Structure 1
Amino acid sequence: MSRSRDTGNETMSVDVVIVGAGFAGLSAARRLASTGASVLVLEGRDRVGGRVFSGEVAGVRVDLGGTWVSKRHTAIRELAEQVGCTTVRQFAEGRNTLWFGGKRRTYKGTIPKLSPVALVNMARVQMALDKLAATIDVDAPWESPRAAELDAISFEEWLDRKRARASTRAMMTVVTKVEFGCQPSDVSLLHVLRTIRAFGGIDHMLDAENGMQDERYVQTTQEIAIRLAERLGDRVVTDAPVRRIAQDDHGVTVFTDTARIEAEYAIVTTATEHRADIEFEPALPERALGLAGSWGLGRLSKAFVAYEKPFWRAAGLSGEGVTDTGTVFITFDVSPDPAGPGVMMVFCDPRVFDAHAPEVRRDLVVRQLSDLYGPEAASPIDYIDHRWNIDAFASGGPNPVVAPHASTRYGSALTEPHGRIHWAGTETAGDWTGSMNGAVLTGQRAAEQVAERLRAEAGALA
């Protein structure tokens, strides 16, 4: 079980110290421990999981952070299976709901049934995105053909050039809000293309059934992290924010508020922008500093609204809804049972959500659900929300918002070791970057790199 350690100015010694107890850090620790290396995971929060975090509404545990897994997410699935966590299919039966231009309509499939002209425009833009995404090297997008050109414009500028209609822009705005927590004007085209390629194309990126939103965990995704940490035991320490990492030719020294840890190597798994919160000696090189300053997380908030039962199903609705205005921009049915309670997961725009008092946030969400699903939505039995913007260790959305030019200028610093310090975390992934699966893969990758260096050093001393 992970636990806080309050032992004054304690000095410890391990082979590898890992910063962050999300899926990247826990996966790295697990892999290194299996090789016989001694490891210590330091987590600044009072909990493990990082950007996966559980809450409760109407007695049902829900995912306030990362939620879904695809069938292709084999790394996170293997970990979850090993600790006894099980999946359930994302409910997607019935018609989806759309609130667009002040009007409500329903539709089947991923893309709303719009006018023939609008559908042609949507299909043309989607095909162009998939075609460009196919040219991107997900491990080093800055080295892709036309990288400088694709990184020089925002996604919105590209939509302008493609003459995207209002309906197409609205859908693409939902994509950037969910995936990056930003507007299309905030993120470079190259970064959007990298994400599309990493997620297996637009269809797989957006689909529930057989797509990125295919399944979720009954026990919640944070429970996977909790059980992984329990197996690591005293190797995981919470309430231990890392303030400074010093290194020389012989090892690293990591400083928290209460301890000094000496190690051969360190693996840092924080979100890219939070690398700047740690003092490094010697200092990070210029490109690495530029990365931390330009790859900041976007903004995203979530709410869950509970009802006696999922009443929308009786009307033939899936609970998946999309809106082009207001606080809410997408909804999903995450009810545990058809008999109830009915639970609606709601993604909220922080710009018109986060600053309000709890009761105002609740009213804003319930009002929009009433527009989407009728008067029954006005009488919930419970409500919970989470504003990631106030999280001190990952203040924002699931992915960094990478503005034009930032990938080509600084992206190569994502995974380049700084002496004895290696990097992990979902944004450092190639395939599945920005997902829980990507986080696991990066933890395993960094662990293998460090394990190889440990073996090489041991061989040199033999």
Structure 2
Amino acid sequence: MLAAGPAGAAEGGPYDVIVIGAGFAGITATRELRARGKRVLLLEARGRVGGRTYVDTFGGHQVEMGGTWVETTQPHIAAELTRYDIALTEEHPVDRVLLPTPSGPKEFTPEDAFNRTGAVLERLFDGSRQYFERPFEPLYRSDLLQSLDRLSLRDRLNQLGLTAEEELLVNGQTAIYSGGSSTQGALTMLSHWWSLAGWSNQGWADTQRWRMTNGTSGLLDAMLADAKPVLRLNSPVASVTDTGSLVYVTLKSGVRYSATRAVVAVPVNVWPTIRFSPSLPAAHTTAGAQGIAVPNAYKMFIHAKAGAGKFSAQGAEGGSPIPMLMPFKETSQGLLYVAFSTDPTLDPADKAQVASAVRQLGAELDIIEVRAHDWGRDPYARGGWAFRKPGQLTSLYPSIHNTSGRVAFASGDVANGWSGFLDGAVESGLRAARQTLGLE
């Protein structure tokens, strides 16, 4: 039943469910629906599946240009890894760590850097064992969260009265995760991740420790082969109309499909680009307008000549346009580094600009080439990783998980658990499938 390619007419069907978006959330929902015998049409705007994950080749190696890391303590993705016998590869250890200090970047041993940053992070998230007592039930202690959810990460940093040296150890992290400024991200977002990781610096570090040996595409292909839906690539959706008895999905090409139900499995930031009739519920409208994923997000791989070695580096808030960098793999010419940026003025195609940004971290790289993806300007993502803003947890949850008539929603942006991670996407897809089947 698996088919691919753009549709020239409303052929095929009839369908029980139309799933919009073939990322991890959409493919998970599709598989679960197909397992219950539903006839599913899976629509994907791009010419590939994967959503905010995709595998490329660069420097002679397979590289992940989007979501990458998984952890066996993340229950939903761990179940998929087991189900399809997906092998994991551990990231290479680093030889040294560059961190910002009041007098400029300084080199630390990995153990010293880990202990120094961990001590500050533990203070930052003090109390999270209470207010996120059950991390997969984020509102379980809503009585404690109401006031805390109003705080930005900048508010929390200011509360702690850190020395300049202490704050510099962590404000690069709080800023980049927030989308560029610690004022933009919610304390409860980062502390939620910390709680899910076991309230420990080791658990937090482990969230960037393991990746799939054969790439995220290997798991997606296995899930698709299991599901065998009708798949239409290059099929961006213009509108979704729920008549009360049928759901009509119209593509930008004008082709229209119908089914008894639909699952919208695109990023929350993309919701405003689709015309919904009736209009989306209040929580969904607000989430789409405010956005959940950070609006400016580059992931890049830097191919550099040998010499600088296997180091990781973190910048200070307001410092280098590339505040996070780590080694990936050796090549015949040198080394690949993976880096992240939320600076809209950065041009990854400008090797001199990238080298300057790395120099601000305290390192010199002789750059051969850079490969980057701008998720913020990607029309089918409109942002990178999910990171809630102050107030969004307590104002949007749990309503954001509700269906709207015959339409359910699946996105790792609004998981109960690991929002912004592959685990959250799978969790969301499972929930949307249960809702569509009338099981939740």
TM-score with structure 2 length normalisation? 0.87
Q: 1:218 deviation in Å?
A: 2.9
Per the alignment, in what secondary structure is the counterpart of residue 21 of structure 1? coil
Paired position in structure 2 for 1:459: none
Paired position in structure 2 for 1:387: 374
What is the distance in 2 between the residues matched to 1:109 and 1:129? 25
What is the distance in 2 between the residues matched to 1:104 and 1:139? 40
The answer to whether the 8 A contact 2:31-2:224 is kept is no
Paired position in structure 2 for 1:303: 300
Q: 1:441 deviation in Å?
A: 1.9
What is the distance in 2 between the residues matched to 1:167 and 1:351? 27
Paired position in structure 1 for 2:68: 67
Unaligned runs of 5+ in 1: 455-462
1:433-448 alignment runs, 5 A limit: 433-448=419-434
Per the alignment, in what secondary structure is the counterpart of residue 145 of structure 1? helix
Paired position in structure 1 for 2:177: 179
Q: 1:194 deviation in Å?
A: 2.9
Unaligned runs of 5+ in 2: none
- Residue 235 (1) aligns with residue 235 (2): no
The one-letter amino acid of 1:220's match is G
Paired position in structure 2 for 1:367: 356
TM-score with structure 1 length normalisation? 0.84
- Residue 319 (1) aligns with residue 334 (2): no
What is the distance in 2 between the residues matched to 1:112 and 1:254? 50
Say if 1:140 and 1:420 are closer, same or farther in 2 by CA, change over 3 A: farther
Which among 135, 140, 146 is matched to residue 144 of structure 2? 146
Say if 1:156 and 1:312 are closer, same or farther in 2 by CA, change over 3 A: same
Per the alignment, in what secondary structure is the counterpart of residue 420 of structure 2? coil
- Residue 283 (1) aligns with residue 279 (2): yes
Per the alignment, in what secondary structure is the counterpart of residue 170 of structure 2? helix
The answer to whether the 8 A contact 1:305-1:383 is kept is yes
Where is the helix percentage greater, Structure 1 or Structure 2? 1
Between 1:101-110 and 1:263-272, the stretch displaced more is 101-110
What is the distance in 1 between the residues matched to 2:18 and 2:203? 34
Per the alignment, in what secondary structure is the counterpart of residue 5 of structure 1? coil
What is the distance in 1 between the residues matched to 2:64 and 2:79? 19
What is the distance in 1 between the residues matched to 2:393 and 2:121? 27
User: What is the percent sequence identity of the aligned residues?
Assistant: 21
Q: 1:6 deviation in Å?
A: 2.8
What is the distance in 2 between the residues matched to 1:84 and 1:341? 32
Q: 1:139 deviation in Å?
A: 3.5
What is the distance in 2 between the residues matched to 1:109 and 1:133? 30
Per the alignment, in what secondary structure is the counterpart of residue 184 of structure 1? coil
Taking only aligned residues, the RMSD between alpha carbons, in angstroms, comes to 3.0
Q: 1:23 deviation in Å?
A: 0.3
The answer to whether the 8 A contact 2:323-2:361 is kept is no
Paired position in structure 1 for 2:269: 273
1:132-281 alignment runs, 5 A limit: 133-135=131-133, 138-141=136-139, 144-204=142-202, 206-207=204-205, 211-229=206-224, 232-233=227-228, 235-256=230-251, 257-281=253-277
Equivalent residues, number: 434
Say if 1:71 and 1:179 are closer, same or farther in 2 by CA, change over 3 A: farther
Per the alignment, in what secondary structure is the counterpart of residue 186 of structure 1? coil
Say if 1:412 and 1:100 are closer, same or farther in 2 by CA, change over 3 A: same
What is the distance in 1 between the residues matched to 2:299 and 2:114? 23
What is the distance in 2 between the residues matched to 1:279 and 1:394? 17
Alpha-carbon deviations, 1:199-249, whole Å to 9, x = none?
433525631xxx101211233223432453355455221111122222233
Say if 1:168 and 1:237 are closer, same or farther in 2 by CA, change over 3 A: farther
What is the distance in 2 between the residues matched to 1:392 and 1:431? 26
The one-letter amino acid of 1:188's match is A
What is the distance in 2 between the residues matched to 1:396 and 1:2? 29
- Residue 425 (1) aligns with residue 411 (2): yes
Which among 318, 325, 340 is matched to residue 347 of structure 1? 340
Between 1:66-75 and 1:217-226, the stretch displaced more is 217-226
What is the distance in 1 between the residues matched to 2:330 and 2:25? 28
Paired position in structure 2 for 1:405: 391
Say if 1:80 and 1:286 are closer, same or farther in 2 by CA, change over 3 A: same
Per the alignment, in what secondary structure is the counterpart of residue 446 of structure 1? helix
